[in-house]
Amino acid sequence: MATKIEIEDMVTVGALADKLMIPVTRLIAELMKNGVMATVNERVDFDTAQIIAQELGLDVELVRHSTTESALPKREKTATSENAVPRPPVVAVMGHVDHGKTSLLDAIRAAHVARGEAGGITQHISAYQVTHKDRLITFLDTPGHEAFAAIREHGAHLTDIVIIVVAADDGVKPQTIEAIRFARKAGVKIIVAINKMDKEGANPNLVKGQLAENGVVWDDKAWKGDVPMVEVSAKTELGIPELLDMVLLVADVEDFRADENVPAEGLIIEAHVEQGRGSVAHGLIERGILRPGDYVVSGSTYAKIRNLESTTGQKLKQAGPSTPVVMTGFKTLPEFGDPFVAVKTEKIARAEANRIAIEKSSGNGRIGVNSTELIRMINRSNELSECNIILKADVQGSLTSVIDSLKSLDTEEVAVRVVGSGIGSVNENDIHLAQSSHAIVYGFNVAMPANIKQIASRDKVQVRLYKIIYELIDDVKDELTKLLAPEVVETDLGRLVVRGVFKTTKTEVICGGEVTKGKLTVPALARVKRGDELLGEVEITGLKRGPQDAKEIFEGEMCGLSFKTTKRIDLLEGDHIELFTRSTVARTL
């Protein structure tokens, strides 16, 4: 019976050797044998450890440590004290691409965001507040394209209420169902906005029926559900006041509250670099009061808040629960989706950020030997073709989503290899790295200065800039398609039974026979068979009908046939020759 050994998700080579009770040199040698250069302090993941144990032929069973946690920050209801005060509801607007989410928010805040979005599709998560009946409501706008699933999930976890927008003339679509799943998973209240009621073909009852099939049932007496649904039109502003009334009604029933007399806490919803301002983070405060000059820690970075602004650029002296803010002063760019918390001193902030950085690098980071890469190295018969890319994006959330989407294109034959990535414009270092790694530089919503364009041209580095995510993904997909080996297609032509052999040499045979199936053409390839035995594969060089050369010979006709061969074939009467053509066809992902 195999010995059970429990290990962490990530374990150093030295620690794994100890667990397996083998010399560390033997373990390193096994890794090297499979093409992986690893030191005693190099970390491998659980799947890699299993592969190596099997390769070594050890009678052990590795068991994953039970304390593994998801890398996705989970939104949990924070206990409030008796001094907690009412706060504005946080509302995420989600749904299928092009169903009018951003246009609906335009109507709510009288802005024109959708016109400025590339392709009319929201490319970032954004947050802002509106006032309705003298009360504040915080809105989050999340992208609808399938590539932004990670951003949408964070959006659902940030919120109290999710408004799911469904076009009345289009109905429930894949991202609609995904938004419902995110909202259910986050345990937040759902309101449905049936949009585009002004359009011909609008059918709200069909939408309600489709939603009911997915477990979202209207709270009408006849339907006996629990989900409010409001018919709206972003274009004519039909139903907008009623939708906001419904948000406030749900907020009153749920009684959303937060403490203000505690250290400020919240979540980073976007982060990017601005020239002259450095790292700029968009955050949503969940509890406490944040002020300029406060020290905050977010993941492995920290800041003394230099500027605190609203999302419209107004400077703030303080910001409380449910307020979206823009912060500057971070030492490095905070990670999209990371929590932030205010601390008393810079010393505490620095120490906490360093502790988290060490924790990430020692236990939860992605540095080390990856099992997928190891499997590829072991199975060398299936050589993997990789497309090297360098990716630059304007904000952290978009960078994460684009990389995740590109990784989903990987197959057993081709894969995307991100050799470099970052936030901000394409720079000279990107060009040098691309040249040395034979990579293509992709930019998403970023610019390339004229001098960098000249360097790229000089070094013959391809730089491709996009403002719409699916266009970038399609471009990378095309590059991967070029790496696919073409498919070899064989087409059967006809069959000849040998009735006589006229000449046989080491490289050529001339014979005669009857076409018993299909037709014979020249040029062509053929398999020479004696019963079921394959005598060889040959190249047909000539056909004769009587004394005349022929291009085609049809079924039932007698003919002469000559072929070239790389080895001597002693052809006999009764053998048969099967003609075919072989061609290559480009494949697609």
Any idea which fold 88-255 has?
Rossmann fold (3.40.50)
Q: Over 70: is that where the pLDDT of 363 sits? A: no
The CATH number fitting domain 376-483, selected from 3.30.70.2740, 1.10.3720.10, 3.30.420.40, 3.40.50.10050? 3.40.50.10050
Give ranges for CATH 3.40.50.10050 in the chain: 376-483
- Which CATH code is given to the segment(s) 487-585? 2.40.30.10
- DSSP structure class, residue 74: P
pLDDT at 36: 62
List, in sequence order, every residue forming a beta bridge with 192; answer none if it has no partner.
164, 229
Taking only the tens place, the pLDDT of each residue in 143-193 is 544 443 444 455 555 688 889 999 999 999 888 888 888 788 778 899 999
Q: In a 10 Å sphere around its CB, with 0-12 CB exposed, 13-18 middle and 19+ buried, how is residue 387 labelled?
A: buried
Q: Average pLDDT for residues 422-430, to the nearest whole number?
A: 87
Q: Over 50: is that where the pLDDT of 247 sits? A: yes
Taking only the tens place, the pLDDT of each residue in 19-40 is 888 887 788 778 777 656 666 6
Of 480, 381, 389, the C-alpha closest to 443 is 389
Of 316, 305, 293, 280, the C-alpha closest to 129 is 316
pLDDT at 527: 95
pLDDT at 117: 43
Q: Average pLDDT for residues 550-557, to the nearest whole number?
A: 94
Taking only the tens place, the pLDDT of each residue in 231-244 is 999 889 899 999 99
The more confidently predicted of residues 8 and 450 is: 450
* CB neighbourhood size of 208 (10 A): 22
Taking only the tens place, the pLDDT of each residue in 77-97 is 456 778 899 999 988 888 887
Question: 3-64, which class in CATH?
Answer: mainly alpha
Token look-up 């034959």 returns: 413
The contacts of residue 75 (CB under 8 Å, 6+ apart) are: 157, 158, 186
Give ranges for CATH 3.40.50.300 in the chain: 88-255
Distance CA 166, CA 578 (A): 60
Taking only the tens place, the pLDDT of each residue in 366-417 is 445 555 555 555 554 345 788 899 999 887 777 877 887 888 888 878 888 8
Of 435, 207, 434, 29, the C-alpha closest to 443 is 434
Give ranges for CATH 1.10.10 in the chain: 3-64
Distance CA 290, CA 293 (A): 9
Distance CA 470, CA 133 (A): 40
pLDDT at 559: 95
Give ranges for CATH 2.40.30.10 in the chain: 265-364, 487-585
Question: 265-364, which class in CATH?
Answer: mainly beta
Torsion angles phi and psi, residue 45, rounded to 5: -90, 175
- Alpha carbons within 13 angstroms on the beta-carbon side of residue 97 total 18
Q: Average pLDDT for residues 501-524, to the nearest whole number?
A: 93
Percentage of residues of the chain with pLDDT beyond 90: 39
Taking only the tens place, the pLDDT of each residue in 109-150 is 764 443 444 444 334 457 788 889 999 999 877 654 444 344
pTM value surpassing 0.75: no
**Is residue 229 a contact partner of residue 218, using CB atoms and an 8 Å limit?**
yes
pLDDT at 72: 31
